[in-house]
Amino acid sequence: MRSQKKWPVRLTVRDREELVRVTTAGVRGASVIMRARVLLALDTSVGEVDSKEVIATRLGVSGETLRLVAKRFTETGGDVHATIARKKRDLPPVPSPVTGEVEARLIAMACSQPPQGYARWSLRLLEKHVALVEDIPDLDHSTIGRVLKKRNCALT
């Protein structure tokens, strides 16, 4: 099996016991348990390992999953916890353009009188007026609707 040669998985006794505990306790996420089972199946320290196809069929995963788990185990330097846990994000999430001040100004605008010629504010009309105000970033009508719904503001 090529991935076993390229990314061999050799577990210590302590790591193996920890992985058995993870798979039998049932208090972890399904993906964590699945990766722990893959590591246990790919462990070459206990003897000969079955072929990639046999392991994949037995565990109900694809051959690519076996390869990726073995690769991640090698890349993390044999750290079992880093292999089975979720990866940390490389980039932080994009911050929302809607801050508390923007939200307050948007709600104040929605609660004010609509422009002349209109009976009430609509989300698209609010979107056009938000684009004209320099202090507020340009917001989509769906974002405006989410902000108003979050604060229970009805456009009536």
Under a CB-based contact definition with an 8 Å cutoff, are residues 70 and 104 in contact?
no
pLDDT of residue 72: 92
Q: What is the DSSP letter of 28?
A: S
What is the value of pTM for the model shown? 0.59
Over 50: is that where the pLDDT of 1 sits? Answer: no
Indicate if the alpha-carbon torsion angle 134, 140, 146, 148 is positive or negative: positive
Q: Rg for the chain (alpha carbons), in Å?
A: 27
**How many beta carbons lie within 10 A of that of residue 118, not counting itself?**
10
> pLDDT digits over 74-97, tens only?
998 888 889 898 888 888 788 888
> pLDDT digits over 126-151, tens only?
999 999 988 889 999 999 999 999 99
